[in-house]
Structure 1
Amino acid sequence: MSGLTEFQVEVSRLFFSLPASDGFLLAGGGALLASGLSQRPTRDLDFFGEQGRADVGEMRRQFLVAASDNGWRCKVIQSSESFARIHLVGSEEVLVDIAIDVAARHAPVVTIVGPTFSSEELAGRKLLALYDRAEARDFVDVFVLCEVFGKDLILARAAEIEGSVDRSSLAQMMATISRFSDEDLPIAQDRILQLREFFERWASELG
């Protein structure tokens, strides 16, 4: 069983039951949970589609109709041709992001909730999330994923997606972990020091 909540599983399965879901994959923290790569809870479900194949507008329309038919309350927070964010309230609350992103570089994997990016590609995409925004959850996810795949493989998968990753800039983003208190980092407190030392060493290696 995945680490997703029952409601998140229900929402994901509804999403992938719709005709417009063709070309979309579950991504982000939800995909890590569905793939058994993380135990960190998430409040977001990210569905990424391939440019030229996935239609965000039609997917948003179909999803809103289906969600309303299920008795869920929906509020569109943001909407454009390439991105939609929906606040969904059913048995719990969840943010649903529907977006166009870089196409999958590896064959998708089918999970209990639907198709996701491959495990290695999810790891590479999570490193790119750290590279772009460096939120507390990104540090925790990358730390856990490196224990599974190793740093070199994750760097290689990130480079496949992005084209190139500037190592000096990545090191600078890793150094920003200092702005978070121990309580900000969603990992067991007895692992905090290990996590901080891991990124300190990696940033030094990247230079």
Structure 2
Amino acid sequence: MRSFHERLTRLGLVAAAEHGFVLAGGYAISAHGIGNRLSADVDLFTNDADPQTFATAVNDMRQAFTDAGLTITDTTVSPLFVDINVSDPQTGESSDIQFGLNYRDFTPANLDVGPVLDLRDAVASKMSALWSRGEARDFIDIYNVIDSGAFTRTEVLEMADQQEAQPMDREMLAERFTSVARYATDDFAEYDVGPSQQRAVVEFFADWATALTSEENAESLEGERVTEAAQAAGMSVDEYRDVTARLNRTHPDSIQGPITGPQGAGESPRTNRTHDTGAERGRGYER
């Protein structure tokens, strides 16, 4: 973290300690010991959506900056989002600092710099940012997270899905992953990422995109197989899945082929062992 950013972070978090503000964004990930990407600004976010409480906290942080001899210029001011520029007349240093609202599943961590978004929430938020905007810094941060071994690719997607209104569309996400190749060397150099590491990031997301596409294709094939089997059995897809799930629980070795429909009124579905060709077996896939 840049020294001026650390100064602003400490001042702000102490001033807003009673209002649930924590360090968020890319700096939250690096504060947990993952990567060391420098940022252009500081994000201090809360999960308290009360506008009055939010305004009180922001005013307290403004006062802390002013008392420290810093100058404040407003950029954006709204009920639950404020973007200001803070500068030091003595040194000429300046930075944007954003105050906003975020979603949390976990209790923030108390680290040396102050309260910080839990790593799981920080990663989920960063993956959501990659999904929605796909800036170079988002790709760098997610690459660092997975490269560190803290989480797997599957775990990162699952955590992000929890924060989205709907799970991220995997086909569209694969396209987003490949879009990282459009960034120039200068875009990565801004974050002290050289050409060799940039290539590693691009190749990493290209491989991930391929994996997602393969999974989507497998799921599509499986969906078609289930639909065809359900139609052949005279059931809806949901009924067919329910029947096979119950049979798998009670008689895991009994399903040798597609389930046939009722043979008469009120008769329960049964397995078709006489005419099993094996065409419906062995087509599982890894999710």
Scaled by the length of structure 2, the TM-score of the pair is 0.66
Corresponding letter in the other structure for 2:14: S
Deviation at 1:61, TM superposition (A): 1.4
Q: Between Structure 1 and Structure 2, how many residues are aligned?
A: 203
Instruction: Please show how residues 127-142 of structure 1 align to structure 2 within 5 Å.
Output: 127-142=127-142
Partner residue in 1 for 2:57: 59
Conserved in 1, the CA contact under 8 Å of 2:23 and 2:43? yes
Residue number in structure 2 paired with 1:155? 157
2: CA distance between counterparts of 1:195 and 1:52?
A: 36
Counterpart of 1:193 in structure 2 is: 199
**Structure 1 range deviating more: 112-121 or 178-187:** 178-187
Asked if the contact 2:84/2:98 (under 8 Å) is kept, the reply is yes
Structure with more of its chain in strand, by fraction: 1
Shift of 1:114: 1.1
Q: 60-69 or 11-20: which moved more?
A: 11-20
Using structure 1 for the length normalisation, give the TM-score. Answer: 0.90
The structure whose RCO (Cα within 8 Å, separation 6+) is larger is: 1
Which ranges in structure 2 are unaligned for 5 or more consecutive residues? 214-287
What is the root-mean-square deviation in Å for CA atoms of aligned residues?
Answer: 1.8
Q: Equivalents in 2 of 1:18, 1:147: separation in Å?
A: 35
Deviation at 1:155, TM superposition (A): 0.9
The answer to whether the Cα contact below 8 Å between 2:27 and 2:42 also exists between their aligned partners in 1 is: yes
Aligned AA for 2:195? Q
Identity %: 27
Deviating above 4 A after TM superposition, structure 1's stretches of 4 or more consecutive aligned residues are none
1-structure distance, mates of 2:16, 2:159? 30
Structure 1 unaligned spans of 5+? none
> 1:32-54, CA deviations, whole angstroms, 9 ceiling, x for partnerless residues?
23222121111211111114467
Establish whether residue 202 from structure 1 lines up as the match of residue 211 from structure 2.
no
Q: How far does residue 21 in structure 1 lie from its aligned partner after superposition? A: 4.9
Question: What is the CA-CA distance between 1:131 and the residue it aligns to?
Answer: 0.4
Rg (Cα) greater in structure: 2
- Tell me if the contact between 1:29 and 1:44 (Cα under 8 Å) persists in the aligned partners: no
The one-letter amino acid of 2:172's match is: S
